[in-house]
Amino acid sequence: MNASARVIDFDRSVPSVPIREVLEVTPPITLRPGREYTPRPGELSASLSPAMVELQRQIEMVAGVDVPVLLLGESGVGKEFAARTLHARSDRAARTFLKINCAALPSELLESELFGYEPGAFTGAAKSKPGLFELCDRGTILLDEIGEMPPSLQAKLLHVLQDKQFSRLGGRRLLTVDVRVIAATNVNIELALKQKTFRTDLYYRLNTITLRIPPLRERRQDIPQFIDYFIELLSAELGCHPRPLSKRAFEACLRYRWPGNIRELKSFVCRHLVLQDDDALVAELFIGDETDQSSKSSARADGSGLKPRIASIRAHAERRMIEDCLAKNCWNRMETARVLHISTKTLWNKMRQYGIRDLSRRGEVGYAETKREPSKLDAGASRAIGGRAESLGASGLDRVVPAAMGKRSA
């Protein structure tokens, strides 16, 4: 493999040991007898895509500046690799680098992992335990999937970023640490801010430096390098011959959109080495891609998706039910509203909404506003409609429409 085409494995698994015992040094991988290659966090591929060249330039500028960094990008684009590179090229390179996935742990466990706890802080806390911030003092910590962090923890993290102080769970003593925080997320951060699932003050604190990792479809020039690297890496791990891709499979890789990014490309190369059937793999790639594209184009063509269609069906069924009930009650709105368990005003508004004309006022059907005793027909209609409801818009026909649709189809 060409040295200039060598890239880092973004998804190398770590040993199954407690998180605080994991040293951020990738173990050597034996590629062939007598040769070892140890990927280093600071090693970047000789990228050919302008987007990655610009990202590499930004990393070089930011690495030596001791400020928080926010990494944005889709899942599988290599945010962890960018974080390792920032650490390796900083003044903290000789210190600890730790990563924790904020989405993989419940809020209580995540807080104890980050900040530690004292004896008696909760059931089972028999002795004190330092948190990752303490263990990572003067080093770098990567908070992966920070967009999934609970709001209560976001407030405590903001305090650490501002004052570099925190206390353990159940503790009263303030601890001071010097940790560089790198945060990464694949969520739409602007949408999270609008929905108030991510604190605005924490975002502005992390937003000192923001780096966006481009998806693989925006850096297709780098795909051949990743293919070469994964073929060599995975053939050594799987103990099989480093078989190159066929021309058809290689061209398909250059055309495919790779929604799973580098992680998906690695899985594709693994299947290529194991199954040795490139034609089937290419067909599998583009069947899924064409299905996804056709569903998107059809949605664009008719201007609707699942929710609008359901709303349209519901509105049609609701109108039919109101018309049927009005006809059964001789277009008496008071009696119809009573049977539907809604107010007369709500019924009138629904008639206007759906353009239901009052046929009784044209003399086509007898009309009477006088109240009468409920009949057996009314009781049967009430049971068919589906029970009690407070209002048509809130809980009345919201429940009865599906029931009536089922009975109509039966």
What are the pLDDT digits (tens) for 171-182? 888 889 999 999
Residue 99 in 3-state DSSP? strand
**Weakest-pLDDT range from 274-283, 334-343, 377-386:** 377-386
Average pLDDT over residues 354-359: 78
Q: How many CB atoms lie within 10 A of CB 124?
A: 7
Q: Which domains are assigned to the chain?
A: 40-214 (3.40.50.300), 220-302 (1.10.8.60), 306-409 (no CATH)
pLDDT of res. 45: 52
User: CB within 8 A of 403, min separation 6: which ones?
Assistant: 385, 386
Tell me the angle at which helices 333-340 and 306-328 cross, rounded to the nearest 10 degrees: 130
Residue 142 burial (CB < 10 Å; 0-12/13-18/19+)?
A: buried
Residue 140 in 3-state DSSP? strand
* DSSP summary character for residue 164: S
On the question of pLDDT at 128 being above 50, the answer is yes
Average pLDDT over residues 359-382: 46
pLDDT of res. 309: 66
Average pLDDT over residues 47-63: 88
pLDDT of res. 6: 34
pLDDT of res. 22: 30
Range 270-284 burial, b when 16+ CB lie within 10 A, else e: bebbeeeebeebbee
Helix (H) / strand (E) element for 71: namely strand 69-72
Q: How far is CA 169 from CA 115, 138, 156, 262, in A?
A: 7, 22, 11, 38
pLDDT of res. 359: 67
Average pLDDT over residues 360-373: 45
Q: What percent of the chain has pLDDT over 70?
A: 70
Position 408 confidence tier, pLDDT thresholds 50, 70, 90? very low
Q: What is the pLDDT of residues 9-42, one digit of tens each?
A: 334 433 333 333 333 333 333 333 333 333 333 3
Task: Write the single-letter amino acid at 312.
Answer: S
What is the rounded radius of gyration, in angstroms, for the C-alpha atoms of the chain?
31
Tell me the angle at which helices 50-63 and 79-88 cross, rounded to the nearest 10 degrees: 40
More reliable by pLDDT, 273 or 362: 273
Q: What's the mean pLDDT when you consider all of the chain? A: 75
Q: Cα angle vertex 396, ends 394, 402, to 5°? A: 110
